[in-house]
Amino acid sequence: MKRSEINQAIKTAKEALDAIHFKLPYFAEWGEKEWLENISKAENIREVMLGWDVTDFGSGDFKHTGAVLFTIRNGNLYNPKAGVPYCEKVIVFDDDEKQVIPFHYHNNKTEDIINRGNGIMEIELYNSTKDGKIDYNTENVEVYMDGILYTVKAGEILEITPGNSITLTPGLYHRFGAKQHAGNLVAGEVSKINDDNLDNVFAEEQKRFSEIEEDETVLHPLCNEYDRIENLK
């Protein structure tokens, strides 16, 4: 992705968050200068990867495959002293091109994905096979939505309206994003500790973090860039 594309995506996400009066922590506004000034105090933020996360999952097609995420709280599976024993994120999707996060499941994490507002969330579910592939042979999927167990058809597009949520358990394949032309969706995630480096299993080969072409100044560093910033000292 180009840095200009990332910067614009963050600006658009901020507009969607402002529309529902969702406020981020103060460090969401830090640029590289502020990060350098606060790097010694921000070790916990760095270790548990709080902050901005803009990715196209290596697709080269951010308009259709990607999202802007901001991790507000998180911990570390391998260091119980770091952070907290849970994760909270906000995820913003562009509705113009029906932007989605591609099919994946988690080995460890159970998560609630919540429609916080400004759009309609669409989600598709499949069970996984013993070897970790999408199970296209099982007709139905069982899933909890806001505490109620439902049986839904595998691959059916479910609509989650504002204030409602769906619980995704380990091994459950899911693809979700914004319903087209319904508004730039603000989704929330509340989950067990999040490990984006090791806990995601994608149906097709994907890159969790994008390679970046530096074509303009960084607006806000991403959560996987903090080590690079420290090297600027």
Considering the entire predicted model, what is its pTM? 0.95
Tens-level pLDDT at each residue, the chain (233 residues): 999 999 999 999 999 999 999 999 999 999 999 999 998 899 999 999 999 999 999 999 999 999 999 999 999 999 999 999 999 999 999 999 899 999 999 999 999 999 999 999 999 999 999 999 999 999 999 999 999 999 999 999 999 999 999 999 999 999 999 999 999 999 999 999 999 989 999 999 888 999 999 999 999 999 999 988 777 66
Domain range list for the chain: 3-231
Alpha carbon distance 74, 86 (integer Å): 6
The SS3 assignment for 8 reads helix
Strand 121-126 to strand 158-160: parallel, antiparallel, or no bridges (unpaired)? antiparallel
Among 11, 91, 95, residue whose Cα is nearest residue 53: 91
Structure-token match 């009066």, residue found: 21
